[in-house]
Structure 1
């Protein structure tokens, strides 16, 4: 605990900017809640920073005295001097406010003085204590990176940036401000501070202020001689705003004479009381920090077995090579009731891979690897095939626990494991997925791969696949890896996954996200597994015809381009294209990239084509057919599985922030449907003999959700009455009667309707419609005038995002938007558009997920043999026996239209367009 110790010339006083620590901790880390729902993310960050500081200071630089200084409140004596001081600062985030008290408690748990005083900022207290210590000859270190405190630096006082462990002395201040520390106040008085609403002199920044102060000596001399300044604008501003500069000087000058009540002597530093500090950290549920503190203070360290944050020891993992050993792990699994499971295979595709081994973890630190398909690599066997349990026998015994309803199986990105097991006759249930648990809590904040989660939550760096198998041409298959290495790698995956589950699962209830996980995420891996394993049939002959057709059209476009350029060139070379367009032909609008080459992206070519230039139009045509050929007609043929004769895409559950699914290998989400050639690709997706493709698509779901969420009565009524929403919008905006509506006006309204959902700007709408920016702005203004509820919704979402750092869908999905407070205006504006769109797009994603989750049971209960094959944006695709087509259309439509209920009662009806045909293209 802190002790009383006189301060003298041998003392080293550390003054920690506690308020600075709080906000750095809050903004640097993702939101975190205790199991009872209390937000504690900033508390955790604060404690981590404080512990790191104490650990870093051990040794020669150890403080003799240490205190943590806080702001008492937002109102200080400066507000009485200047009522606009910090007037623009927003209120603290809602989830930070309850943490202020806990952070004070944390400081006391560290046995550190917790200093604050009403009417004064922490900086004033720090300045006063620094002066008092310096007067006694002591060394002073201010633990902060706050530029406002740099005015204190002198022979006795330095600063320490705790995040960078960087000392800030005289030279660093000069580098930052361009002047010595004793002139920092003058520079700040001129430059002002927009964050704190310190006026300064308009048009003068730090660099200019430093030049002026270095030339004239100080602020008073500068203001007295302002009339001598040669630059007219600068001279006028200094004369006009001289009083603002003087007011600013008062505001930025830290008080050195705060009437303190706690003397320096009571700041004597001492090691924290282990029992008290550990008790507080445990009450906050900071497992990793608790362990570090226990180790650092020599207290009792938690048992390695059973503690999710205990150090990982790979040497303790077991390689299971006999039936007897396997039975022992099966019994341990039954007793544990919660186990982590992971498979190792010889390929990335869950549909085409071969099972190589299975790992289990029954408690943190207790894990094993069961090799099943290793081909060699153990030197003990002379390089021959190592001892392994027969695959069939091992899976037969594992099936008893993997399909046991009383044992929860935990996996990371578990859809892959489910698919592999299912191909081997094992249908794993029930299960939890740590990737999805993380995704529900932190979508938009970070990625959700196991390696990143391991480092983030348990401070452990996992063995990488590259370390085990190599990369490139020398990469080995996992079946070739020796069993010891394979065990360390595979068992670690299971061990880490179980530890992550123990940490992450508790956060769902505390953050109110259990329902989101249980209804929108947890059921989907099995649904998607069934879809991926089913695959979809493609017509190879049709794809070949399309490839030939696309190649012919590429050749025609190439010939046209060569004729227009006057010589042959490589249409796939951006460098050659740029030299021809902007060098040889001298077309306008040329822009060079950072590498010095001309930019020839689609936007550049589109703009040139719209201006009437033929060569860019020919290049765009060539690129369109080249992409269709390489990405679809050729790639789909290559993607056909030789064993099934079908294409098996892989769906990703946690790849977007809004809950929308994506797909890869091949990507079936981006097949173009707006062009005739793109639609031909869908014609190649067909059904088996005696079957049809059924495609069911939500109609204008995002516009319907916008009408509901923004509570726009006119739009809601139109949807209820089945009106043409784009025609209605055009009629409202442009005053054209519905019966006289022309296609062009309706098309403009459609572009605005969909553009508004994505927060489109006048610039963007102008580009979309090919009109002037002023006209586009009038369209948008007119739209908001006719539908004010939409503008109110957009403003409300931006404000909510700024206040909370996230937005929610109507089903509770949380989408974090860390860029909402970014210093870069472009990033900030982009994030504001995300804040507008995310609740709508996210709700649409939630609805189709709910429909997908219900669909398999609905089909089974109806006794149908129809299979769900694909999900593409707002559309579901099925393969049905011809005899079931009508029944399937009716059932699928009912399930999709009712997917929002009972969680949400929508004020607009959901509409589904469903059709059966021999190909996907015809059914769409």
Structure 2
């Protein structure tokens, strides 16, 4: 049916339906796996009600549900603060967005969204087309922004109130007709959407002014004539912002759409796809009601309350994996992926450095036991000798063709991409122009579920949870000097290895994802693990600039200092020896010099670790002290000033560290290749290394660092009134502790007493013993233990917290952070030294873990917060974030970042103490922090 006179188009505002459904209904989860489905249930009911209500002469002939495309729109390019104040959608609503699209299609209704535009723009364009074609249009929404479209055959319907909104209804709301709504909105602004408008002018005043002057431009031209001084000043000083506001509120009604009104013709729902979807969602009542109305038998919904551990998954069979060689084969896989709605993805590359390696092939799986490998860049010859060839092996797809086919699916919001350590694959895809989203990550699912129990690598997970040892990589690549890269592996050998990775990943996902809800860690995964992946991937790709010349000069300087120290050490020893040899050092210290405390290990050599040398140095032994200095310089030289030069990417001039999300049990990130979190900063030489980390020309490095965050969390968790009040009052917490402990008034505090209190404050968090504190402060052990005992007397809540936490850990075999992260404590029942370690770890985990969660939450929110600002987030060093910022934007960026960091615990946890963030700026990292 061609759209024209007599036709009636219904345009349903999908986002309005979703949010109304979400807020109107209590939380609901699918019984089989805990998936949140409350908003989907409400959405389906509203959609069905809309269909049932539209019978008779006013029924639509054409209908569509219009959705907002997630992400930025052209309005953000016009004004970067547009909608910046809007909070992100609730975490349990996010996974429901794609399901509402599926629901719309299941009801056989057209649904559309367009990247870069809002749903309102699509509605504006379609309503204009309907009007110009001589038909009618009803917009099913109560959104005031759509009221500018009313008139000439276009009206609105508030489905909740069953109230129609025509031109008179618009006048009732805005005080002007639909044609002047944008003028009033431009003047009044909108705090929800962050539209500036004119300060002090609301809807009523704006309508008054527009009715008096006719339109916005005429008003602004005659602003000086307005008698009221505040209004006059607001209009004159903000004329440009008001015009900008009009641009923001004016809907685009001439979009180029890839569908027509004819494509929106009303179609009756088909029983099979609709009932299949409703059954999959486990909507019993609605499924029965619709089945009865259609005159068909309702499908049975069988739900097991037990987690789905896929016990009936087929056995692994590498011979069944498919080698995808051509367009037809890949097309079939892509069709299967769209039918299923998710796919496990894995990449094969020429190495591990994501910034330098090449993509060799891609694996896919949508069904346990069924997977494929798409080889793309395997070489004809595996050898590196004179007869080796760089020609591509046969049986591979053209690289560009395959990527062109896969890219839409990999970027499609309706298809979930599942990976194991997805950050790696996402960076590989990003470098070939593919932004993979949305994602799930089996490594992070395991981390949320099993932190503290085992590591989360794929091989370990496969063996532990699938009882399957994956095909090893070593036989394919070889070892040592004869090792080859994956592009040299024969395709026939690569297919089973690579495809199996995708198969394993899919099976792990099917096992782990339902467990999130059962173990009550869905929020941890959805708010702190999964959304951190793209943030870290971008940081790693940004990298930080490193000055090679500075490192080179430092290396030479360290070499000279080491040579001078060696000469001094040889003189103290009375002879020359290899200072880097623990065996020779032990012989000199304990045999030749006759020092006490020497202990031999299994090899017969004396132990000369840092703890041994520190004890000797504390007793006044100069040789031990100088060796410690030499070792520190040696480590700085080899680990940093020499090695960092090899890590500078030749294409970017930057060092691109990689962050391990699932390394530390507590949620702390680890930095590798190179490790930029362990650069020692307590010594002058260590701090100097940070001078080599520099900003680009015209930019500076900005460092923002949480002040004493773990002590603040301890004060909150252990409910220590004195500490909480001190933090609220902004006191020097170490001086306050010293004053409490040693009965010294604050105005008589000495640096030495404060230093002791600081050591105890931080030591207690990590469960330090009298022995450890004695070593730190270089005081007798008995005195150190006395300090600790007095500390617990003055702050009894800390001892209570420790005892309670240990008991909880013993009973439950895990502890939790303030944000629900579970850290398992399997060794709580151990005997001997391990028992003490397990106890200290359990006490510290909720504190360190909560601090890690807070900075994770800040990082997840940061890209949105600094969007459009000339700033990039480069590094995270535990409690510190480092940005590269244009010089002129430092103050603005500092304010935004500080606000995000200091408010990161909210709204999940309201701390009893304020979080304080210190900021520093410099041309290099040393200056900035």
- 1:854 matched residue in structure 2: 861
Following TM superposition, by how much is the alpha carbon of 1:484 offset from its aligned partner in structure 2, in angstroms?
1.5
Contact preservation (8 Å) 1:35, 1:509: no
Cα distance between partner residues in 2 of 1:687 and 1:613: 43
Q: Determine whether 1:360 maps to 2:364.
A: yes
Q: Determine whether 1:328 maps to 2:335.
A: no
Residue of 579, 588, 591 corresponding to 2:587 = 579
Following TM superposition, by how much is the alpha carbon of 1:800 offset from its aligned partner in structure 2, in angstroms?
0.6
- Backbone CA RMSD of aligned residues: 1.9
CA shift in 2, pair 1:489/1:737, >3 Å: same
SS at match of 1:485: helix
Cα distance between partner residues in 2 of 1:620 and 1:762: 23
SS at match of 1:600: coil
CA deviations on 1:290-327 (whole Å, 9 max, x unpaired) are 5xxxxxxxxxxx5xxxx3xx201111111111112111
Following TM superposition, by how much is the alpha carbon of 1:467 offset from its aligned partner in structure 2, in angstroms?
2.6
Q: Determine whether 1:427 maps to 2:432.
A: no
Cα distance between partner residues in 1 of 2:338 and 2:33: 30
Cα distance between partner residues in 1 of 2:548 and 2:465: 48
Following TM superposition, by how much is the alpha carbon of 1:377 offset from its aligned partner in structure 2, in angstroms?
4.8
Residue of 480, 488, 499 corresponding to 2:488 = 480
- 1:606 matched residue in structure 2: 614
Contact preservation (8 Å) 2:378, 2:488: yes
Residue of 338, 347, 360 corresponding to 2:351 = 347
Residue of 810, 826, 829 corresponding to 2:836 = 829
Cα distance between partner residues in 2 of 1:417 and 1:725: 45
Q: How does 1:490-529 map to 2 (within 5 A)?
A: 490-529=498-537
Q: Determine whether 1:458 maps to 2:466.
A: yes
Residue of 395, 404, 411 corresponding to 1:396 = 404
Contact preservation (8 Å) 1:659, 1:842: yes
Q: Determine whether 1:775 maps to 2:783.
A: yes
Following TM superposition, by how much is the alpha carbon of 1:281 offset from its aligned partner in structure 2, in angstroms?
14
Contact preservation (8 Å) 1:378, 1:483: no
CA deviations on 1:99-133 (whole Å, 9 max, x unpaired) are xxxxxxxxxxxxxxxxxxxxxxxxxxxxxxxxxxx
Cα distance between partner residues in 2 of 1:717 and 1:635: 46
SS at match of 1:455: helix
CA shift in 2, pair 1:529/1:285, >3 Å: closer
Cα distance between partner residues in 2 of 1:394 and 1:286: 34
Contact preservation (8 Å) 2:363, 2:502: yes
- 1:869 matched residue in structure 2: 874
- 1:534 matched residue in structure 2: 542
Residue of 830, 850, 872 corresponding to 1:843 = 850
Following TM superposition, by how much is the alpha carbon of 1:547 offset from its aligned partner in structure 2, in angstroms?
0.7
- 1:220 matched residue in structure 2: none
Q: How does 1:763-912 map to 2 (within 5 A)?
A: 763-822=771-830, 824-860=831-867, 863-912=868-917
- 1:214 matched residue in structure 2: none
- 2:730 matched residue in structure 1: 722
Residue of 891, 911, 919 corresponding to 1:914 = 919
Contact preservation (8 Å) 2:32, 2:305: no
SS at match of 1:707: helix
- 2:297 matched residue in structure 1: none
- Residue ranges of structure 2 left out of the alignment (5+ in a row): 1-30, 35-301
Cα distance between partner residues in 2 of 1:569 and 1:594: 23
Contact preservation (8 Å) 2:449, 2:822: yes
Contact preservation (8 Å) 1:378, 1:384: no
Following TM superposition, by how much is the alpha carbon of 1:468 offset from its aligned partner in structure 2, in angstroms?
2.0
Contact preservation (8 Å) 2:699, 2:885: yes
The range that moved more, 488-497 or 363-372, is 363-372
Contact preservation (8 Å) 2:416, 2:440: yes
Cα distance between partner residues in 2 of 1:351 and 1:335: 34
SS at match of 1:362: strand
Cα distance between partner residues in 2 of 1:359 and 1:472: 27
- 1:588 matched residue in structure 2: 596
- 1:204 matched residue in structure 2: none
Contact preservation (8 Å) 1:376, 1:479: no
Following TM superposition, by how much is the alpha carbon of 1:378 offset from its aligned partner in structure 2, in angstroms?
9.3
Residue of 388, 410, 414 corresponding to 1:406 = 414
Cα distance between partner residues in 1 of 2:923 and 2:626: 35
Contact preservation (8 Å) 1:334, 1:407: yes
Following TM superposition, by how much is the alpha carbon of 1:287 offset from its aligned partner in structure 2, in angstroms?
4.7
The range that moved more, 702-711 or 773-782, is 773-782
Contact preservation (8 Å) 1:705, 1:843: yes
SS at match of 1:360: strand
CA shift in 2, pair 1:538/1:869, >3 Å: same
SS at match of 1:544: helix
Residue of 680, 699, 710 corresponding to 1:702 = 710
Contact preservation (8 Å) 2:712, 2:727: yes
Following TM superposition, by how much is the alpha carbon of 1:865 offset from its aligned partner in structure 2, in angstroms?
2.4
Contact preservation (8 Å) 1:435, 1:449: yes
Following TM superposition, by how much is the alpha carbon of 1:385 offset from its aligned partner in structure 2, in angstroms?
2.2
- 1:744 matched residue in structure 2: 752
Cα distance between partner residues in 2 of 1:384 and 1:803: 59
Q: How does 1:188-587 map to 2 (within 5 A)?
A: 284=306, 287=309, 302=312, 307=313, 310-377=314-381, 385-587=393-595
Contact preservation (8 Å) 1:35, 1:510: no
Contact preservation (8 Å) 1:869, 1:879: yes
Cα distance between partner residues in 1 of 2:306 and 2:706: 45
Contact preservation (8 Å) 1:412, 1:434: yes
SS at match of 1:884: helix
- 2:290 matched residue in structure 1: none
CA deviations on 1:201-254 (whole Å, 9 max, x unpaired) are xxxxxxxxxxxxxxxxxxxxxxxxxxxxxxxxxxxxxxxxxxxxxxxxxxxxxx
Cα distance between partner residues in 2 of 1:777 and 1:375: 66
Following TM superposition, by how much is the alpha carbon of 1:457 offset from its aligned partner in structure 2, in angstroms?
1.4
Contact preservation (8 Å) 1:650, 1:664: yes
Cα distance between partner residues in 2 of 1:837 and 1:912: 22
SS at match of 2:628: helix
Contact preservation (8 Å) 2:32, 2:306: no
TM-score using structure 1 length: 0.67
SS at match of 1:369: strand
Contact preservation (8 Å) 2:453, 2:825: yes
The aligned length equals 627
Following TM superposition, by how much is the alpha carbon of 1:282 offset from its aligned partner in structure 2, in angstroms?
8.0
Residue of 688, 694, 697 corresponding to 1:689 = 697
Cα distance between partner residues in 1 of 2:33 and 2:340: 25
CA deviations on 1:527-571 (whole Å, 9 max, x unpaired) are 110011111001111111111111111001100011111221101
SS at match of 2:793: helix
Contact preservation (8 Å) 2:415, 2:438: yes
Cα distance between partner residues in 1 of 2:619 and 2:919: 41
Cα distance between partner residues in 1 of 2:871 and 2:396: 40
CA shift in 2, pair 1:477/1:397, >3 Å: same
Contact preservation (8 Å) 1:869, 1:878: yes
Cα distance between partner residues in 2 of 1:286 and 1:516: 20
- Residue ranges of structure 1 left out of the alignment (5+ in a row): 1-33, 38-279, 291-301
Cα distance between partner residues in 2 of 1:800 and 1:561: 51
- 1:29 matched residue in structure 2: none
- 1:186 matched residue in structure 2: none
